[in-house]
């Protein structure tokens, strides 16, 4: 069986990676028809620093967003917290927390929580457009539970079940989504990587609540004093499902550093096929010194992004970031600090800062 995996997996993955070259089209006609688009936001600082291009090589907790198969590389326990200033100047912040725990010889369980903070928004009405009625704060929350496993020395796979909640004081929508991913690594030092991830697959969502109802006079009432409550139905919407296909390669800068992994340069590329927006090509490059200091850059390309008049996203493409991960203790535990920046126009970019502990 292992021989079958070693033969079949690289052939299948290589074929899938080649498909996008002839199918670059996207779905611009369906832009805006999906909801729950916060599922497309990468809240983690390390992987967003190189544009999310590391679908084939993402490891640990951050893999729950990019490619859940990568969580199978968790050997003991990983804890992580991240805070993102989303489109700086809008006062929108994203708080994320996660935990992965190795189980058995090759398995890992994961939990991730992402919450968006929109601040306090003044309540206005037609009669009082200037406010003065207090404030409200929308709540966008998604919680993911995952399991990943190494099926051999080369093949890793996993699943994530995600619960989605969007609500204000009187209207809410809830849904579930499923992510699945696989990674294949090969080479003497596992330097060649392939990955596929299917994300945000689930049933349609719909808003419900008292905020969709209103009072109106009963048509048959003669004096207009009798009123009834009319409840409106909102249209249901689909989730922003997508398919990621990626590959990567590690380059070591000296003959003996492949074993020691002293100086490493990693190149990553990912093609994203979006169901409700333009397809994307993501490229990333990372330099790592002993896995203690890592510096990375990335670029996301979609049709029209290079011209402001044709651009349909606030992001302009470039991203960058760094990691400092310090080992401590006898068990080779580490404490890490991650930062990333994603360029935008308008606003002042998106900044993410994360802290991680590997025990």
Is the pLDDT at 160 greater than 90? The verdict is: yes
125-142 average pLDDT score: 88
pLDDT in tens, 177-223: 999 999 999 998 889 999 999 999 999 999 998 888 877 777 776 66
In the DSSP assignment, the letter for residue 288 is: E
Query: Distance between CA atoms of 17 and 40, rounded to whole angstroms?
Result: 21
Tokens at residue 133, please?
Answer: 């009625």
Is the pLDDT at 119 greater than 50? The verdict is: yes
111-115 average pLDDT score: 97
Domain ranges of the chain: 43-202+239-358, 207-238
Residue 218's SS3 state is coil
When the candidates are 3.40.605.10, 1.20.1250.20, 1.10.10.10, 2.40.160.60, the CATH number that belongs to 43-202+239-358 is 2.40.160.60
Q: Would you put residue 192 in left (φ > 0), alpha (ψ -120 to 50) or beta?
A: beta
Q: Contact at 8 Å (CB) between 254 and 235? A: no
The set of residues, in sequence order, having a beta carbon less than 8 Å from that of 259 and lying 6+ positions away, is: 189
In the DSSP assignment, the letter for residue 170 is: S
pLDDT band for position 339 (50/70/90)? very high
User: For the whole model, what pTM was predicted?
Assistant: 0.86
The size of the chain, in residues, is 359
pLDDT in tens, 68-92: 999 999 989 999 999 999 999 999 9
What percent of the chain stands above pLDDT 70? 88
pLDDT band for position 39 (50/70/90)? very high
Tokens at residue 93, please?
Answer: 């912040």
Cβ density class 294-305: b for 16+ within 10 Å, e for less: bbbbbbbebbeb
The set of residues, in sequence order, having a beta carbon less than 8 Å from that of 298 and lying 6+ positions away, is: 49, 50, 51, 52, 53, 282, 283, 284, 285, 318, 319, 320
Query: Distance between CA atoms of 139 and 159, rounded to whole angstroms?
Result: 26
Residue 25 has a pLDDT of 47
Is the pLDDT at 335 greater than 70? The verdict is: yes
Instruction: Identify the CA nearest to 289 among candidates 329, 254, 249.
Output: 254
**Looking up tokens 């620093």, which residue turns up?**
49
DSSP string, 230-257: EE--PPPBB---EEEEEEEEEEESSTTH
Residue 225 has a pLDDT of 63
Query: Distance between CA atoms of 203 and 75, rounded to whole angstroms?
Result: 34
Range of lowest pLDDT (9-23, 33-47, 98-112): 9-23
Cα–Cα distance list, 236 to 34, 212, 213, 251 (Å): 9, 14, 17, 48
pLDDT band for position 257 (50/70/90)? low
The set of residues, in sequence order, having a beta carbon less than 8 Å from that of 20 and lying 6+ positions away, is: 245, 271, 273, 279
Residue 23 has a pLDDT of 40
Is the pLDDT at 107 greater than 80? The verdict is: yes
* Angle 68-340-161 from CA coordinates, rounded to 5°: 20
Query: Distance between CA atoms of 279 and 11, rounded to whole angstroms?
Result: 24
Sign of CA dihedral 305, 308, 311, 315: positive
Query: Distance between CA atoms of 211 and 222, rounded to whole angstroms?
Result: 28
pLDDT band for position 229 (50/70/90)? confident
Query: Distance between CA atoms of 164 and 178, rounded to whole angstroms?
Result: 11
Residue 222 has a pLDDT of 64
Tell me the pLDDT of the chain averaged across its residues.
88
DSSP string, 94-157: EEEEEEEEEETTTEEEEEEEEEEE---EE---SS-TT--S-EE--EEEEEEEEEEEESSSSEEE
Residue 259 has a pLDDT of 61
300 or 256, which is more confident? 300
Tokens at residue 174, please?
Answer: 């809830």
Instruction: Identify the CA nearest to 140 among candidates 168, 120, 110.
Output: 168
Half-sphere exposure of 167 (CA within 13 A, CB side): 14
């Amino acid at each position: 069986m292992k021989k079958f995996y070693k033969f079949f997996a690289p052939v299948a993955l290589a074929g899938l990676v080649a498909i996008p070259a002839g199918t670059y089209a996207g779905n611009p006609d369906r832009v805006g028809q999906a909801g729950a688009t916060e599922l497309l936001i990468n809240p983690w600082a390390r992987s967003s620093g190189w544009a999310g291009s590391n679908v084939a090589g993402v490891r640990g907790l951050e893999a729950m967003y990019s490619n859940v198969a990568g969580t199978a590389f968790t050997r003991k326990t990983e804890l992580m917290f991240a805070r993102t200033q989303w489109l700086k100047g809008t006062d929108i912040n994203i708080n994320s927390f996660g935990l992965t725990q190795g189980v058995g010889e090759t398995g890992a369980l994961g939990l991730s929580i992402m919450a968006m903070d929109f601040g306090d928004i003044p309540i206005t009405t037609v009669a009082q457009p200037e406010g003065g009625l207090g404030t409200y704060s929308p709540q966008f929350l998604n919680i993911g539970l995952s399991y990943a496993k190494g099926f051999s020395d080369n093949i890793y796979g996993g699943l994530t079940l995600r619960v989605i909640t969007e609500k204000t004081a009187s209207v809410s929508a809830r849904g579930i989504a499923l992510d699945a991913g696989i990674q294949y690594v090969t080479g003497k030092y596992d330097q060649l990587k392939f990955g596929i991830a299917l994300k945000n697959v689930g049933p349609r969502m719909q808003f419900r609540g008292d905020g969709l109802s209103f009072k109106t006079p009963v048509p048959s009432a003669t004096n207009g004093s009798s009123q009834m409550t009319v409840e409106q139905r909102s249209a249901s919407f689909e989730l922003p499902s997508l398919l990621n296909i990626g590959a990567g390669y590690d380059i070591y800068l000296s003959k003996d550093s492949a074993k020691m992994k002293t100086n490493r340069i990693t190149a990553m590329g990912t093609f994203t096929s979006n169901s409700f927006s333009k397809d994307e090509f993501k490229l990333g490059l990372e330099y790592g010194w002993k896995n203690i200091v890592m510096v990375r850059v990335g670029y996301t390309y979609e049709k029209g992004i290079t011209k402001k008049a044709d651009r349909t996203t606030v992001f302009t493409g470039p991203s960058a970031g760094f990691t400092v991960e310090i080992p401590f203790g006898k068990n080779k535990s580490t404490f890490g600090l991650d930062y990333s920046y994603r360029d935008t126009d308008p606003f002042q970019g998106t900044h993410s800062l994360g802290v991680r502990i590997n025990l």
